[in-house]
Structure 1
Amino acid sequence: MDYSLAAVKMLCSQLRDAKPTPSQNATALGGVLFQRAWLQGVLVPISGGGDNSLVLDDGTGLVELGLSGDFAIRQWKSGMYVMVVGVYHIRTGDIPLLKVNMKTLGL
């Protein structure tokens, strides 16, 4: 993880335009390189998701949250308004994924 790259504050709809970079372990959006994304929104139920999967809706789109470590054991509930920072993963044919854990935050 390159912590010199900022955790970019963005909307779920902007993640659709992000592109992987071939020579770096990062993603680019409009010339800005990032590995971690910062999103805010409401947790919504997901059908068929595992215990450690939630979906965040920020009003512009959806992103799946992959939770691990201390975050996976917390009492997350549909309707909660949350702010998350996580490693962004582009997935073809599915909603984007943001992996959230203590290492993502540099803790």
Structure 2
Amino acid sequence: MDYSVAAVKMYVTHLKPAKPAKELTSNGGSAFAIGSLIFQRVWLQGVLVQESENTSLSLQDGTGVLPLQIGQEALKPGMYVLVVGAYLLGADGSPFLLVHKIVDLSSNPDRDTFWRLEVAEIHKLFYDKLMNASTH
């Protein structure tokens, strides 16, 4: 994992077309690609959900749900959190996020509005051109 590369700010729906990148990152780790945007880590924000008592937590951001792999922390469904982690595929090919950082933002009443504006701006300025570019 190349921690010197920033995590891309995304919505869960943005990650649907992600495919394993053909090239490896500078440290030899695997990466993913959406168009010509190559990444290893993502930054997401949303509400923690648990589909059943036996399952781990997932992140629901209003555009989709992504399972999380996190340690045993004092986290509860319903919390609004910021998560940063490695975007990976499980043995069955389904994506999940191996969480490196999680922050409870539940006490900030404007958290979701600001996040949506921030993601929209960064996509308009940077990511959209890369995500819509073809990789050859």
TM over 0.5: yes
Corresponding residue for 2:79?
80
Distance change in 2, residues 1:90/1:16 (3 Å) = farther
Corresponding residue for 1:105?
none
Q: Does 2:34 correspond to 1:29?
A: yes
Secondary structure of the corresponding residue to residue 58 of structure 2:
strand
User: CA offsets, 1:12-42, max 9 Å, x none?
Assistant: 0111111111231111123111100100000
Q: Conserved in 1, the CA contact under 8 Å of 2:83 and 2:100?
A: no
Corresponding residue for 2:116?
none
Q: Conserved in 2, the CA contact under 8 Å of 1:42 and 1:56?
A: yes
- Work out the CA distance in 2 between the residues paired with 1:81 and 1:45: 13
Normalising by structure 2, report the TM-score.
0.62
Gap runs ≥5 in structure 2: 25-29, 102-136
Structure number with larger C-alpha Rg: 2
Identity of aligned residues (%): 51
Q: Conserved in 2, the CA contact under 8 Å of 1:87 and 1:99?
A: yes
> Which of the two has greater strand per residue?
1
Which stretches of structure 1, 4 residues or longer, exceed 6 Å deviation after superposition?
A: none
Normalising by structure 1, report the TM-score.
0.78
AA at the equivalent of 1:11: Y
> Which of the two has greater helix per residue?
2
Gap runs ≥5 in structure 1: 103-107
Cα RMSD of the aligned pairs, angstroms, is 1.7
User: CA offsets, 1:42-100, max 9 Å, x none?
Assistant: 01112231xxx211100000001101xxxx23211111000000000135564x20001
AA at the equivalent of 1:55: S
Q: Does 2:65 correspond to 1:62?
A: yes
